[in-house]
Amino acid sequence: MKAQVAGRAVLLIPHRGETGDEAALPGDYRRILQIVRAAGRRVQVRTVGEELGPEVAVRGKLEPLRVKMTKLADPGWPHKRPDGKFTTRL
């Protein structure tokens, strides 16, 4: 879902409780959520990056992925723990 903020297009991630349906998420965000869920444990951004491909496994390329994962966690899809790792919500 996209919206305009200050004349710029921004991607809106729906709150988990609003839809409850992962299909409402953009494809790359669904893939991130699938990786976190499949891990079955707390995962670091680097672990998700390694699953997504070698271009995100490089340290300098992890920050955009970290931003995406945080955007996904803010509305309640996965849970971002205080130690910076992510888990799925039950």
Show the tokens assigned to 40. 């079955």
Distance CA 35, CA 88 (A): 10
The pLDDT of residue 77: 86
Please state, in angstroms and as integers, the Cα–Cα distance from residue 2 to each residue in 8, 11, 57, following that order. 10, 5, 28
Which residue range(s) make up the domain with 64? 2-88
Q: What is the pLDDT of residues 22-40, one digit of tens each?
A: 787 888 889 999 999 999 8
pTM of the prediction? 0.75
Distance CA 68, CA 61 (A): 12
Q: What is the pLDDT of residues 50-70, one digit of tens each?
A: 898 877 766 678 888 998 899
Distance CA 75, CA 18 (A): 10
Instruction: State how many domains the chain has.
Output: 1
